[in-house]
Structure 1
Amino acid sequence: MNKTELINKSQEKLQGFTKAELAMALDTITDTIQDALVAGEKVKLSGFGTFETRARKGRKGVSKLPKAMGKEWASVDRTVPVFNVSEGFKTRVIEANKLVAEVNPTV
């Protein structure tokens, strides 16, 4: 599902809002989450999951690509965003997949 499809599905459930209003709300929420992560904060949405950042150490390696075979390279230390799914969300998806598998065993 892409952003447009998400907005359309949301409008079906929230009929009092226009697509433009829902798009603006979605943009505002995602921008706010990004701003919080940049500031080093953690964003926890109960029943959905947690957005946070983690430090990744740089590493060294040797290229295996034909053009650069044997050349050494190094990546730098960096901070990356991560998302951890809540237990309730994870359980809901697992249970839904079990039901699909029972109804259609070829999936």
Structure 2
Amino acid sequence: MGDSSSASYIHMVQHLIEKCIIFHMSKEECMEALSKHANIKPVITSTVWKELEKENKDFFQEYARSRGEEGKSEEQASQKIQKTLSDSSSAARDSDN
């Protein structure tokens, strides 16, 4: 991968993480969903997530607090996001070609 394609890939992973956050998924749920539905290695998702946490500490502290109150199930969130992830990753792959 060249620098621009690496940056593009990381940007795509960040975008998919943001979609997971919309569905109130934990980091672990997001890692599993992206691995299963977008074929992204969990270590990559984890690394990008950690960088996002560093850059947005206040947001992630509030996000963790709100997730504790809501407690959506992984299965429910995974079902909702499956189509979105498939569509987003397909579109990203198409734009790279």
Is the TM-score greater than 0.5? no
Which of structures 1 and 2 has the bigger CA Rg? 1
Calculate the TM-score normalised by the size of structure 2: 0.33
Which structure features the higher share of helix residues? 2
